[in-house]
Structure 1
Amino acid sequence: MAQPDYNARHLSVLEGLEAVRKRPGMYIGSTDSRGLMHCLWEVIDNSVDEALGGHGDAIEVVLHADKSVEVRDTARGIPVDIEPKTGLSGVEVVFTKLHAGGKFGGGSYAASGGLHGVGASVVNALSERLDVEVDRNGKTYAMSFHRGEPGLFDDKGGAPSPNAPFTPFVSNSELRIVGKAARGKTGTRIRYWADRQIFSPDAAFSTDDLIARARQTAFLVPGLAIGIRDERGAEPVDHRFHFEGGIAEFTDFLAPDAGVTDTWRLQGTGTFVETVPVLQENGHMVPTEVERECGVDVALRWGTGYDSTFRSFVNIISTPKGGTHQAGFEAAVLKVLRTQVEANARRLKVGTDKLEKDDALAGMTAVLTVRLPEPQFEGQTKEVLGTPAVRSIVTNVVSKALTEKFTSTKREDKTQSAQLLDKVVSEMKARISARAHKETQRRKNALESSSLPAKLVDCRSNDVTSSELFIVEGDSALGTAKLARDSEYQALLPIRGKILNVQKASVADMLSNTECASIIQVIGAGSGRTFDLESARYGKVILMSDADVDGAHIRTLLLTLFFRYMRPLIDEGRVFAAVPPLHRVVVMNHGSKPNETIYTYSEAELHGLLAGLEKQNKKYQDPIQRYKGLGEMDADQLASTTMDRRYRTLRRVRVSDAAMAENVFELLMGNDVAPRKEFIIDGSRDLDRDRIDA
């Protein structure tokens, strides 16, 4: 049956925008750079949904120098006819009404990334200015909005600006016709300026995140060309992505090691029935049973390494925290491998031991995509899929397709299946051996042991949740930190200079390194796959290094150690970086009033402070003290700026921070020389000589 036309009759209007500006975090997660990027994803995903439906094959994203962003596509264009319930044009409904769009009722999209219909309207509500142009019916239509309100900007013939005089529509809104479109040409162009009343001053679009997302989307939608243009620098930078191989090519791109198997493609579909509320003509929501179809597509391979790389998607929207589809996939892989190991138990010499999930997933790189209408996500940020029926469908599809691979009579499939079983069984045996060794070697309680490093300055409290371990750079800083700490719950571990680069070192080298071994021993939870988060002796681990290039180097080395061997600490948000000040400014007050001490944490903050003091005609002691290291502070200064919970600032280390540190080390200190040489040559033209420590 032919799909019905996509026009304003499919737009189901449910409510307005009043709550969005009051509680933006409810819709976009946060108002920092992540929230700003989330708004951009909402706009891009609408264009991608069109491409998924076979409409449009190109998307362009432009980061303009004036801090606006523009998204262009070649899809069908937003409907411009009048939506009958509201009497408004389709364009205005999409951008001003929450829960309005073609994704309700299943009339226009079989599967889409957008679910709640709030994307475009939320972006509009949180934008100081938004301009939309639609090519449709041989004409170009245009409309502008100011913080969600439609009207007209008077740009006086110049470049569009959010500061231009704005006149809102009073009685009737106008969808202007601003030109002619070529015959058969359709598409949408959206340009908006994020509202700085909503977003934090330092919120900015991340080119790296945008490039990664564009590359990922191009893999997931074969044939779709995505262009990124960044005009914010001195010279525009362009990136283009276009792939025909789909998720199989994506899996090969993600794989970090040589393959034990080829990339296997597992595909299938399943149906399920769910009860959903459907909006009737009279405005009532009536529970209705509908049959859904769920398509499953998996590309996976096992490599010679031990780390697993997994990406899951629902209607090409990434679900980094998993959900029912990931649970179903992991259950199927474990079930099939267990069955195959039991069938080959004699050859593999496994006895009664059973595979666990970590054994099966070790060295696996996989991309899982499911497509279904109106998936149930946990929140608008769509990080976890909640539709219960998807689990069993994914399990059935993956189990059937994977079993066919293992029972295939092709020589190549038989060879790879045998190699894979050997690998997972060796993983299982290594795990069992490591657990036995760990149980015999582990102390009853690390606190009772006298073998902890002598240089550890421990705290008195046994309460893990309140205790903190400061990893301090150098003995000079240790001396000051001893006087500055609260000995009840703050412990100190000094390290000498730069620890081992664990990116290149083997596990044996890492464990034999004094500094690395001391850190692992003091934390008391083991390392690698045997790391036990519940055994960690401290609630927080805080990296306290000097605010200079060497300090940043040491912090990056430590992050690489934690990321590779104690990652659960980072996953749980228990690793932090201390933020020591760079400058100490003493403001001199008149009379008997004591002088005021102000600390600044960057050159820009210092210059802003000094400019403000000059405006107030306040004097300050010159020269200004510039801290070269933690050891230059006295105990009171270190306590009040860096260690005292009442005043200090800590920067929580996220997995992305640690992953970035590992990637930088792989580039700058790994075994492969060619990328490092290319990086140095490319970066030489941007080198600022003043930033080099002389």
Structure 2
Amino acid sequence: MPPRTNTTNSPGLPGREYEAKNLLVLEGLEAVRKRPAMYIGSTDTRGLMHCLWEIIDNAVDEALAGSGRTIDVSLDADGSIFVGDQGRGIPVDTEPRTGLSGVEVVYTKLHAGGKFGTGNYNATGGLHGVGASVVNALSSRLDVEVDRNGATWAMSFRRGTPGVFDGEGPDAPFTTAHGLRKVGKVAKGVTGTRVRYWPDRQIFLKDAQLSVDQLVDRARQTSFLVPGLELRVTDARGEEPVTELFRHEGGISEFADFLASDPPVTDIVRIQGTESFVETVPMLDEDGAMTPTDVERQLDIDIAVRWGTGYDTVERSFVNIVATPKGGTHVQGFERGLLRAFVGGLEGTRLLKSGEEITKDDVLEGLTTVVTVRLPEPQFEGQTKEVLGTPPVTRLVAGVVERELGRFLGSTKANERPQARLVMEKVVNASRTRVAARVHKENQRRKNALESSTLPPKLKDCRSGSVDHSELFIVEGDSALGTANLARNSEFQALLPIRGKILNVQKASVGDMLKNAECASIIQVVGAGSGKTFDIDAARYGKVIFMADADSDGAHIRCLLATLFFRYMRPMVEAGRVFSAVPPLHRFELINPKKGTPKFVYTYSDPEYQRKLAELTKKGQAFKEPQRYKGLGEMDADQLAGTTMDPRGRMLRRLTVDDAMIAEQTFEMLMGNEVGPRREFIIEGAYQLDDERIDA
């Protein structure tokens, strides 16, 4: 046996030496710059916007504390971001433990601030004491001015280090220095904080950009949540500054009304209550040790609910005005109390038949709600504050919702009783529709070859059993079906013809949709159910492709199909599995083309046609009179395959949903019951239409 060799100190081998001197100790803001995603979630646009939310939330916290009713936010042309408020101003006196000014402590020390149960804030969105300091650490320059004690105090930082800039912008010469500078005087009683910072492009990705749309949505949302607060948002990055002002006095009732897109079944119902609970938290005792201490907390609950004639649920939740898009214990409590209230409310009626029962989904159908709670030091899951984790909140919110909503459902008041009856009938109907859809779904699973007779006879199915590689073409008309059937690859491409224009499901009920032969066939062939019971894992095809003529009727058919999929099979759209085929509009047949040049050249738009026409003319290439396709039926099988169906040469447009709320509003405007917004959209588009583009 060869002797063992000790390679502990062998040079050139990685990981051979591991001593205390190899340990890296990150102090202060170094840790933030080393691992920024731990604090802001990511370094893309989402992280860039999160930094802005941290500064805005600090200003909003001042408004919640009763100081200042105006907040200014500006995205400036030099790449900087400005946030100003009229709050109490960051303390400028010396913090005794560090010997630093309050401003320097707030912007350079992690886990430092006035929101750790000191009594300065009753309810706040800033809890961990890392918001301002993290933004400072991730900024190439940050300037802060504070109006307080009759003076204006200023301080600047470069990547978290305090000092003085000799000039404008983040690239100006910089000298390290501590301490505040007194730069002016203000009237007695004038207070406020102004912050301007430049995000550090060493940290954030190159394509990370500030989104003015997200900023406007956040400002509007905050103005609803803090009645009377005025927010001014300015985008000065273009040729002309654009300013939007938001102020709402109606609170979350007005917010819920703004979010709702369908006709109402009930008025806005407010559910309010105040509860208390005891929470055990570690606190420093006189000896500096952490001791578990029972602390009594107060929980303020304020919820606005409203049911409409639609079927989708719009739910927004907030903790101390901080959005919790992923919910948490307050949302769990709300939904639990909601279900209990309806179960109790239906007990005294004859609406539910024997054996029927309602579920949470039945109650949530058509509901628009804004759920807000306020409490000191809530427990969020992570610095990004997307999920509330305080356990007692579930029980307390559920109790308040069950009590207050139960009072509404059992009300005998003349204006409430009919609404309560209507919403209970809606919930019962939703339950029955859900049961019917489940039965319908059970009959829609993909069948094997022996069971394929249960599928619509007009379906031309494919032979492949692989879902990932299979494609379903929904074809306009039986005439195009014949050509498409010859053009397809039957191994993995299936065809389903539809007759004309399908039902506009944005206006129709679920029952009407299921009764419609074309809609029912599409849902049956996709094989994954519909609505809230849709199971994308059961879908029979990897891609669904709309193939209609390239004219106005074809565009309308594609819009109707998109509405069906968005409303009842949305996971397919969200997964990027729904497409629109792009057939060509024109064909050039070349005369004596050069070697290597195809005989037929296709163009897919009028501008492309004009460019190709000019290109061929300039090259002296002779061609026959270009052909203008009016529909799919004018192409033969080879042409349709090569241009529209064969994956090697076709073009597809993927249907995507970047913002579900905006998409919902767009579909409602284009296809819903309200005629006014659609008329305005058409009239506005008519003025923008170029008469020369009309193919007449």
Shift of 1:304: 2.9
1:304 alignment partner in structure 2: 309
Instruction: Please give the per-residue CA displacement for 1:384-423, whole angstroms capped at 9, x wherever unaligned.
Output: 2111110000011111212232344433333332333233
2:523–2:530 Cα contact (<8 Å) kept: yes
Match of 1:212 in 2: 217
2:117 to 105, 113, 126: 105
- Secondary structure of 2:245's counterpart equals strand
* 1:266-325 superposed Cα distances (whole Å, 9 cap, x missing partner): 111222222223356766544333222211111112223332222111111111221111
Please tell me whether the aligned partners of residues 145 and 153 of structure 2 are also in contact (alpha carbons under 8 angstroms).
yes
Moved more, 243-252 or 47-56: 243-252
Q: How big is each residue's C-alpha offset from its partner over 1:76-113, in whole Å with a ceiling of 9 and x where there is no partner?
A: 11111222222222212222222221112343212111
Separation (CA, whole Å) in 2 of partners of 1:103 and 1:554? 56
Measured in 2, the distance between the counterparts of 1:184 and 1:471 equals 70
Letter matched to residue 113 of structure 2: G
- Equivalent-residue separation in structure 1 for 2:549 and 2:131 (angstroms): 43
Name the CA shift for 1:349/1:481 in 2 (closer, same or farther; >3 Å): same
For 1:684 and 1:180, the matched residues in 2 are separated by: 56
Name the residue aligned to 2:248: 243
Aligned to 1:287: 292
In 2 relative to 1, CA 357–693 (structure 1 residues): closer, same or farther, beyond 3 Å? same
Shift of 1:660: 3.0
Q: CA deviation at 1:497?
A: 11
Task: Give the C-alpha shift of residue 152 in structure 1.
Answer: 2.0
Matching residue of 1:9: none
**1:472-508 CA deviation, whole Å, 9 max, x = no partner?**
999999899978x9x79x9898999998765456667
Of the three residues 369, 372, 375, the one matched with 1:366 is: 369
Say yes or no: does 1:227 pair with 2:232.
yes
In structure 2, the residue corresponding to 1:270 is in which secondary structure? Answer: strand
Aligned-pair RMSD on alpha carbons? 4.5
Which runs of 5 or more residues in structure 1 are unaligned?
1-13, 581-620, 644-648
Q: For the residues of structure 2 that align with 1:641 and 1:576, how far apart are their CA atoms?
A: 19
Counterpart code for 2:105: V
Moved more, 288-297 or 426-435: 426-435
Deviations 1:548-569 (A, max 9, x none): 9999999876654332111244
**Equivalents in 2 of 1:548, 1:283: separation in Å?**
77
Using structure 1 for the length normalisation, give the TM-score: 0.76
Match of 2:57 in 1: 45
Match of 2:464 in 1: 460
Q: Per-residue CA shift, 1:367-399, capped at 9, x if unaligned?
A: 111111121222222222111110000011111
Aligned partners of 2:273, 2:160: CA distance in 1, in Å? 43
Determine the structure 2 residue equivalent to 1:319: 324
Residue number among 567, 571, 592 corresponding to 1:564 in the alignment:
567
Quickly say closer, same or farther: Cα 1:83–1:306, change in 2 above 3 A: same
- Residue among 89, 94, 97 paired with 2:106: 94
Partner of 1:378: 381
> Is 1:59 aligned with 2:61?
no
Match of 1:661 in 2: 663
Residues 431-461 of structure 1: CA deviation (Å, up to 9, x unaligned): 334444554x445737752536877674735
CA distance in 2 between partners of 1:470 and 1:410 (Å)? 54
Equivalence for 1:675: 677
Instruction: State the alpha-carbon separation in 1 of the partners of residues 522 and 689 from structure 2.
Output: 36
Amino acid at match of 2:100: L
* Residue segments in structure 2 that go unaligned for 5+ positions in a row: 1-25, 583-618, 622-627, 630-638
Secondary structure of 2:128's counterpart equals coil
Cα distance in 1, alignment partners of residues 132 and 486 from structure 2: 54
**TM-aligned CA deviation for residue 168 of structure 1:** 3.8
Amino acid at match of 1:305: G
Please identify the structure whose Cα radius of gyration is greater.
2
| Aligned match for 1:390, one of 393, 410, 423 | 393
CA contact (8 A) 1:510 1:517 kept: yes
Instruction: Find the residue that maps to 1:82 and give its secondary structure.
Output: coil
Q: 1:335 to 1:639 in 2, by over 3 A?
A: same
| Percent of aligned positions that are identical | 58
Mapped to 2, the partners of 1:546 and 1:518 lie a distance apart of 21
- Give yes or no for the alignment of 1:357 onto 2:379: no
Query: Structure 2 vs 1, CA of residues 496 and 204 (structure 1 numbering), >3 Å: closer, same or farther?
Result: farther
1:501-516 alignment to 2 at 5 Å?
A: 502-503=505-506
Match of 2:524 in 1: 521
* Counterpart in the other structure of 1:80: 92
Q: Quick one: distance in 1 between partners of 2:344 and 2:512? A: 38
Give me the whole-angstrom Cα distance separating, in 1, the residues matched to 2:111 and 2:542. Answer: 42
- CA gap 1:411/1:198 in 2 versus in 1, 3 angstroms: same
Q: Which position in structure 2 is the counterpart of 1:127?
A: 139
Q: Aligned pair in 2 of structure 1 residues 286, 243: CA closer, same or farther (>3 Å)?
A: same
Q: Which amino acid aligns with 1:372?
A: L
Tell me the secondary structure at the aligned position of residue 659 of structure 2: helix
What is the aligned counterpart of 1:189 among 167, 187, 194?
Answer: 194
Give, in whole Å, the separation in 2 of the partners of 1:19 and 1:633: 57
- Closer, same or farther: CA 39–544 of 1 in aligned 2, 3 Å: farther
In 2: Cα distance, 1:437 partner to 1:84 partner: 71
CA contact (8 A) 2:444 2:527 kept: no
Work out the CA distance in 2 between the residues paired with 1:526 and 1:42: 42
The residue number in structure 2 matching 1:334 is: 339
Residue 188 (structure 1) shift: 0.9
Is this contact kept in 1: 2:277–2:298, CA < 8 A? yes
- CA deviations 1:138-185 (Å, max 9, x no partner) are 111112222222222222xxxx322x323241xx51311111122211
Verify the 8 A CA contact 2:275 2:299 in the aligned structure 1.
yes
The change in CA–CA distance for 1:343 and 1:503 in structure 2 (over 3 A counts) is closer
Whole-angstrom CA distance in 2 between matches of 1:195 and 1:690: 48
Q: Distance in 2 between matches of 1:549 and 1:204?
A: 36
Kept in 1: contact 2:502–2:518 (CA 8 A): yes
- C-alpha separation between the residues in 1 aligned to 2:127 and 2:386? 13
Q: Supply the AA of the counterpart residue of 1:60.
A: D
User: For residues 139 and 486 of structure 2, what CA distance do their matches in structure 1 show?
Assistant: 48
8 A Cα contact 1:668 1:676, kept in partner? yes
Deviation at 1:130, TM superposition (A): 1.6
Partner of 1:603: none
Note if contact 1:128-1:193 (Cα within 8 Å) is conserved in structure 2: yes
Residues 149, 168 of structure 1: 8 Å contact kept? no
- CA–CA separation in structure 1 for the residues paired with 2:228 and 2:429: 40
SS at 1:411's partner residue?
Answer: coil
Contact 2:314 2:368 in 1 (8 A): yes
Structure 2 residue identity aligned to 1:177 = K
CA distance in 2, matches of 1:380, 1:266: 29
Q: Which amino acid aligns with 1:364?
A: L
Structure 2 Cα separation of the partners of residues 527 and 240 of structure 1: 41
Note the C-alpha offset of 1:136. Answer: 0.9
2:611 is matched with none
How far apart are the structure 1 equivalents of 2:462 and 2:226? 54
| Cα separation, partners in 2 of 1:187 and 1:425, compared to 1, 3 Å | same
Relative to structure 1, the CA distance from residue 338 to residue 235 in structure 2 (aligned partners, 3 Å threshold; closer, same or farther) is same
Which one is further off, 268-277 or 325-334?
268-277
**Does the C-alpha gap of structure 1 residues 82 and 192 become closer, same or farther in structure 2, counting only changes over 3 Å?**
same
Question: Match of 2:82, SS?
Answer: strand
**What residue in structure 2 maps to residue 167 of structure 1?**
174
Q: Return the alpha-carbon distance in structure 2 between the equivalents of residues 299 and 191 of structure 1.
A: 36
| Displacement of 1:470 | 7.2
Structure 1: how far apart are the matches of 2:475 and 2:276? 59
Could you tell me how far 1:546 is from its partner in structure 2? 13
Counterpart amino acid of 2:145?
E
